Structures are given as C-alpha cells and as structure tokens.
Amino acid sequence: MEKVTQSTERENNYRYNVVRNKKLTYLKRKNMLLAAELMRYTHSVQLDAHTLSLADGLMKSLRSCGGSTLYSYDGSKIELVSFLGCGHRLCNICNWDRQKKIRRKYLKWFDANPCLYILADEEGRGEKAVTASQRMKWLNKGWQELGEVRYNIMHLMLSVPHTVNGWRGRRFYFREITKQFNFMRKKKDWLYWVYGGQFGLETTKNANGYHIHIHALLFVRNAKQNRNQLHRVVLYWWNHLTVDEANERGNFSPEEVAAIRKGNCTLSDEFVATLDPRGATIIHLQNIFVCKATEDGTVYKHHIDVDDWKTEDFIGAVLETISYLFKPKVFAVTDNMFDCEAIIDILPQVYNNRSLYSKFGCLLGERTLNVHDNTLLEDLAEAADLKGEGDEYGGKEFFITNPSNTYSTDSMIRLKKRNTGTVTVPASCTSEAVRMLYESNYQKPTL
C-alpha cells in the first residue's frame, strides 16, 4: 500500500515537473521577445546615457536568464532540477520564480506558526506580538510572556489621490508612498490591531498616468468586527497622511459621503466630516474568505476560522494575496506584447528603489520568509522532493542546457539536441549537481 502511494506521489511530482519546465520554456521565450522589442524601442527613441545603460542591462539579463538550466536523467525520464536566474526585477522568469518561492515559504511558515506570542517588557510599558522563532530572543532580553494569540489574515490595498500631475507633483512616488505607510504603522491604534505583515508596491498605468498602490498581507488581532474597526483606523490615518495640497477637491458631495460609508457600515457622517477631501478616501481592506457550499450546493463566502486553517481554500486565498506583491502587470499589454515605454519609464525608478516589498511587525526577523534568502537551499529542497529511485542508487546523469532546447510530449520532457546543446555535469547526486550549477559558473552551451 505504501509503495503504491509513493509511486503515485512520484508520478504527481513528475507531472508537476513537466508543467514547471513548460512554464520556464514559455517565460524564456517571453523574455527573448521582450528583449527584442526593447531593442527596437530603444533604437527608435532618444534616451539619456543612464537609462540606456539600464535598458542594456535589462536586455542582457532577459537574454541570459535561465540559459543555464540543470536537468537530470535517470535512464527513463528527464527532470528539471534548477536554473540560474538573473535576479532582475522586471524579468518574467525571476518574478515567476520569486512568486513560487515565497508561496512555498509561506506554506511552510503557516504550518509552523498557527499562533503568535504576546510579550510585555519588564516594566509593563509595552507589548508586542512575536513569532515562535523570535520568542526566545525576547524572553532572554527580559520580556515576559503573556500568552498565545490566534490572528486573522487580511488583504489591504492602498492608493493615493491622483491629479494630472501624479501625486504631490510627482509622476512616480514609490519612496513617498512607502514613507507614509511607514508613518501609519507607527500609530498606536494601527499597532493595536495589526501584529505585522508584508507589503509590496504595484504599479498600474492608465490614461491619467502611473498609479502606485500598496498591497499588504496583514496579521490582524482576532476580535469581533475587527475588519470594520481596522478599516476605520486605516481610513482616518491614510486619508490624513496622503493629503495633496494641489488636489482641488472641496467638500464631499453627498454621493462621495455615501461612497465612503459604503466601505464600512460602522462609519457615521460625523466620522466622514473628520476626513480631508484632499487625501485618499477609499481604501480596500478584505478579510480573507474561503468559499463553502451548503448541503443544497449553494456556494457562500465564509470567514477564515480555526477549522479552515491550512485548508486548500485558505492557502489559495492567502497565496493569491502574496502574489500581488510580485506581479509587475503594468508591462504586459497582452501575453506577447509589451508596453516598452512603460518599462523604460519605470526602469530608473526600480533601480533607485531597492525595496519594493518589505516585512514589518511580527514578521521582522523571519528570515525564512525573505524573498532572497536561501535560494540554493530552496532549490535543494525542491530537488529533494523530486528525488526518485535514481538518486538513492546514484544512477542519475546531470546536464545543463537552455530550456528552449527542451520540449514536452506525452507529459515527458524531451531534448531537441543532445550532442551539441548540452554540457554534462559530473555530479553523483542532485544536491552536488545544484551546487556545481551555482558555484562553477558553467559556460552556457551554444545552441
């Protein structure tokens, strides 16, 4: 019985591996297409030397990314093991890879962290929520433990009031919007409700120009009406923190008041009167729901509760929120058409703003959730998941090739050119092969 389960698991893993290779091949092609379009675009416009060098760097990254991809062959099937990414923020392969890795990290993390610990400092002046991995550090510093708490997960989306000149006279305002978000997170009532989380910046473009939004995954105090209570706190502070003097909106019209109140049934007209018409007035804060069905098959939205923890629905909903942080959708007009003007516009901004996603509060110091942490180990973990009989008996061969040298038939990965398109890696097991891929800077095979 156990053997049957093991072999089904292996089959599923292999199917997943073939899908992963298809995706990598597809994104590699997309990267090449984008590089070619960028090349045409940069030749058709006047760019300053700095932007041009950034554009050259991006094209180089797009072309090289994934070019060295490690595969294994166990005598019957080829498996994708790992690849060398370029690490560029605007790379299709690397964004997909980041998204995938961070999802896997969160999956593991939620598994290990069903609750947080509330600690108080010696004099009882302050309290903080910490994770299991941070708990001992603070106890050793003399903090006292008050108990464990469960938390709710919410998705917050914040934008700023936009005029024809952008916000506060700037077309791009990555740094400014982050600064205001940092201010808000210091407010007492925010700290009461939010234990911590992770956020990212998303850029969209319309006729009015570029819009930069904050997407955040929040770990929120578990209490009745917590969504509405937190919504009120965020609306109040975000409104005041985002006031743009150049915004000419005067008093709220009755429709605007109604629109603001629609977002939260506990808001009164008196509360709305405390808001500044020149600041943001609509914020999106959602509880993460799961869909459930009643006995007669009616599907309804259901709040996440303890029973849903770790269910597929829960994980799907949380991971979708996290994915927002890694979707640079502004650049794609369609699947194979790109907005080169937007890419070139945004390139110096991305270059100047290293931190487009950050953790805060209880997630600070959670190294296992760092986007760039343990790339090699993560890959090894994945390779270990895929470890088949070949590994146990040391019978696998390893080679490096460009994923575009592969294709898939009958749910198998196959090679186009075996002799000229591949470089053999003389490793005896998967982990050694991955290490060699990363360490020895293999020359890319010529295709």
According to the binding rule CB under 5 A, does residue 80 interact with Zn ion? no
Does 34 bind Zn ion (CB under 5 A)? Our answer is no
Nearer to Zn ion, 31 or 422 (CB): 31
Instruction: Based on the shown chain and the rule CB under 5 A, indicate whether residue 85 belongs to the binding site for Zn ion.
Output: yes
Q: How far is the CB of 347 from Zn ion (least distance, A)?
A: 15
Of the pair 21, 134, the CB lying nearest Zn ion is at 21
Of 93 and 129, CB closest to Zn ion: 93
Question: What is the layout of strands, in order, in the sheet containing 412-415?
Answer: 406-409, 412-415, 78-83, 69-73, 397-401, 423-425
* Interacting span for Zn ion (CB under 5 A) from 16-24, 93-101, 137-145, 345-353: 93-101
Q: What number of CA atoms fall less than 13 Å from residue 345's CA on the CB side?
A: 16
Only segment of 60-68, 204-212, 393-401, 416-424 that touches Zn ion (CB under 5 A)? 60-68
Determine if 94 is a binding residue for Zn ion (CB under 5 A): yes
DSSP E strands in 363-409: the ranges are 397-401, 406-409
Least spacing, CB of residue 100 vs Zn ion, in Å: 13
**Contact between 91 and Zn ion (CB under 5 A)?**
yes
Site for Zn ion contains 371 (CB under 5 A): no
Residue 328 interacts with Zn ion (CB under 5 A): yes or no: no
What sign results for the dihedral spanned by CA atoms 39, 40, 41, 45?
positive
Instruction: Pick the piece of the chain touching Zn ion (CB under 5 A) from 62-70, 161-169, 249-257, 423-431.
Output: 62-70
Q: Answer for the pair 366, 359: CB distance below 8 angstroms, yes or no.
A: yes
What DSSP state is assigned to residue 403? G
DSSP H/E element including 239: helix 226-241
Task: Candidates 19-27, 89-97, 375-383, 392-400: pick the segment binding Zn ion (CB under 5 A).
Answer: 89-97
Instruction: Rule CB under 5 A: choose which of 65, 342, 343, 386 binds Zn ion.
Output: 65
| 63-90 as b/e: b if 16+ CB within 10 A | bbbbbbbbbbbeeebbbbbbbbbbebbb
Q: Left if phi > 0, otherwise alpha if psi is -120 to 50, otherwise beta: which for 52?
A: alpha
The one-letter amino acid code at 80 reads L
> Is residue 177 at the binding interface for Zn ion, with CB under 5 A as the rule?
no
Q: What's the closest the beta carbon of residue 85 comes to Zn ion, in angstroms? A: 4
